[in-house]
Amino acid sequence: MLQQRAALASQEKEAALKRLREAEYSSFFSSRHTLCQHLDSCIANSISSFCQRFLLANGVRVGIGVLLRAFKLAKNKSFRSLLNLKLLVSEKDLIVREEACRIGLLFGGFTGCYHGIRCILRRLRKKETILNEFFAGCIAGLSILTLDDQSKRRTLALYILARLAQCIYNLAKARKKFHFWGSHWQHGDSLLFSLACAQVMYAFVMRPETLPESYLEFIVRTGPISRPVLKAVRESCRGEPVDVDALSAFLSSNSNAKLELATNCRLIPCTGIHAGRSSCMEQTSFAARSAFKKTFPLYMSLTFVPFVVLNLQKFMQAPMHTFLTALRGAVRSTSFISLFVGIYQGFICLHRKIAVKDHKLIYWFAGAIAALAVLLEKKSRRSELALYVLPRAAGSRNSLSLSLCTDSDSGKTHSNVMCIISGASKPARKHPHKLIQYFA
């Protein structure tokens, strides 16, 4: 009798638990958990945060596209076409639809998933801890798969990794556990930016294959030197025979200038680098001016559009003030880029005035010095910029550490990174110190 009653009680208990669990799951769709801070049901909260972020990110991307298109039309002096919607936003000229959707899905998907998974975890674990946030973030991070381009995914992942490192470092520093030597320096962020830029600019001249193609394209487009000239500089610097015919054919097609150069020259002179302009001062100021003209539309769009979309109410209250603030920010950032390009070009020209032989480290130092133009930027932006460039510098790291280990017999660099990583072939076995230097 007693046994029967106990079995009945346990059955009832199980049924009650099952009902409770079912109620909890169904309440995910109809109401919120007691630990949830949001007002509506959990599912409604996830969907609404997905939609909000999707629309905002989508709007920002499309807005930037439209503004850039308007700048392009204005540049061609066709101001009347700015009023022509067909020219401004036609499918043919404004190709942002797919990218805007993907970016919307990335941000919306991340936020929606994150909130949804946190609500589910609260129900399953019956408590709110940091682990919930961690797991929700991990799973929601898979929304990066909405980006189709692998290099974009890599860039974003590296940027977020740098952010994570910054968070951990700041935490350790605040708790007085660990800090880098010189972290209290006033211009530590500028120094970091300078070192990162040195590496990137070195890779740009000597090892372009180690930089992502889109980033390389951005540097080539902003600067005054074209790829065939860079190739010739690389060849002369490495002591390889320079393809003089290709270089002079390229220069004469652009500027009608004749170039007389030996194939075994050890320094491409200024006449080869800026054939169209005879004076180095003229070339330097041209480089700075053209960088300003090329990057201003981009910076203006990047400053103005996100502010308008994300703070629409503020913008409606003071549209002129918002516009002027964005304009000031864009002029400041563009001046920084143009000064960077000017200093880099000036340094390279100066080197050609005083030296007879090229050296690859010149391009590294030129980058480090040109990067000091970052002092024009706001203090808060400097560390942002350093964090942005740092992953790219780290990505091209192998280039400098490898090329610093030059083979003393031939003077040539071991370009085959894979052979050293696999530890398989000659250079590593012949010179074990090079392997250590590479990983150090």
Query: What does the alpha-carbon distance between residue 32 and residue 119 come to, in Å, rounded to a whole number?
Result: 8
Q: In 223-274, where does DSSP find H-type helix?
A: 227-238, 244-255, 270-273
Residue 78 amino acid letter: S
For Zn ion, the closer of residues 193 and 347 by Cβ is 347
Token representation of residue 301: 């769009």
Residue 111 CB, nearest approach to Zn ion (Å): 14
Place of tokens 């109620």: 23
Total interface residues for Zn ion by CB under 5 A: 7
- Which residues in the 385-424 window bind Zn ion by CB under 5 A? none
Q: Which of 96, 198, 242, 280 binds Zn ion (CB under 5 A)?
A: 280
Q: Taking the mean position of all CA atoms in its chain, how far away is CA 393? A: 11
Residue 349 CB, nearest approach to Zn ion (Å): 3
- Which residues in the 6-35 window bind Zn ion by CB under 5 A? 32
Residue 261 amino acid letter: L
Contact 182, 188 (CB under 8 A): yes
Residue 143 CB, nearest approach to Zn ion (Å): 19
Contact 54, 104 (CB under 8 A): yes
Give yes or no for residue 270 binding Zn ion (CB under 5 A): yes
Place of tokens 């945060």: 49
Q: In 76-182, where does DSSP find H-type helix?
A: 85-89, 97-125, 130-140, 150-174
Give the binding range for Zn ion (CB under 5 A) out of 101-109, 139-147, 242-250, 276-284: 276-284
Residue 46 CB, nearest approach to Zn ion (Å): 8
| Length reported for the chain | 440
Q: Which of 192, 211, 242, 349 binds Zn ion (CB under 5 A)?
A: 349
User: 382: exposed, middle or buried (C-beta count within 10 Å: 0-12, 13-18, 19+)?
Assistant: buried
Token representation of residue 407: 């083979």
Phi, psi of 321 (to 5 degrees): -60, -45
For Zn ion, the closer of residues 25 and 180 by Cβ is 25
User: 112: exposed, middle or buried (C-beta count within 10 Å: 0-12, 13-18, 19+)?
Assistant: buried
Token representation of residue 235: 């060849």
- Which residues in the 116-145 window bind Zn ion by CB under 5 A? 119
Residue 294 CB, nearest approach to Zn ion (Å): 20
Query: What does the alpha-carbon distance between residue 433 and residue 138 come to, in Å, rounded to a whole number?
Result: 39
Residue 45 CB, nearest approach to Zn ion (Å): 6
Residue 281 CB, nearest approach to Zn ion (Å): 9
For Zn ion, the closer of residues 73 and 270 by Cβ is 270
**DSSP secondary structure of 316-355:** HH-HHHHHHHHHHHHHHHHHHHHHHHHHHHHHHHHHHHH-
- Which residues in the 215-254 window bind Zn ion by CB under 5 A? none
Residue 269 CB, nearest approach to Zn ion (Å): 8
Instruction: Provide the mask over 80-119, with x wherever binding to Zn ion is found by CB under 5 A and - wherever it is not.
Output: ---------------------------------------x
For Zn ion, the closer of residues 284 and 295 by Cβ is 284
Residue 252 CB, nearest approach to Zn ion (Å): 18
For Zn ion, the closer of residues 50 and 215 by Cβ is 50
For Zn ion, the closer of residues 279 and 425 by Cβ is 279
For Zn ion, the closer of residues 91 and 260 by Cβ is 260
For Zn ion, the closer of residues 212 and 272 by Cβ is 272
For Zn ion, the closer of residues 117 and 368 by Cβ is 117
**Interface residue list for Zn ion (CB under 5 A):** 32, 36, 42, 119, 270, 280, 349
